[in-house]
Amino acid sequence: MIAHIIVTPKPVVNDPQGVTVRQGLASLGFREVLDVRVGKYIELSLDISSEHEARERVEEMCRQLLANHVIEDFRFEVIRNGRR
């Protein structure tokens, strides 16, 4: 199984990297971009046969290490053999 995890700053958290990217896009002529939030993408290959167990384990990994619950939100999907 493969887990795709996206971690982003919570909406109330200042995101200076997002501001910099938005300003850079605006200077390149992409003025339609109103806001940018920069996060991280994590892909895990898992040796687990049960999708339910994989989801539980990935949730634990995110809560314990991969995301800082104080300032970040996370979401993920688990794919079995390249299929959702």
Question: How would you write the pLDDT of the chain (84 residues) with one tens digit per residue?
Answer: 999 999 999 999 999 999 999 999 999 999 999 999 999 999 999 999 999 999 999 999 999 999 999 999 999 999 987 565
Query: Domain extents for the chain?
Result: 2-79
For the domain bounded by 2-79, which CATH number is listed?
Answer: 3.30.1280.10
Q: Dihedral angle at the C-alpha atoms of 49, 51, 54, 58, nearest 10 degrees?
A: 160
* pLDDT confidence of residue 32: 98
- Give φ, ψ of 50 to 5 degrees: -95, 125
* pLDDT confidence of residue 84: 57
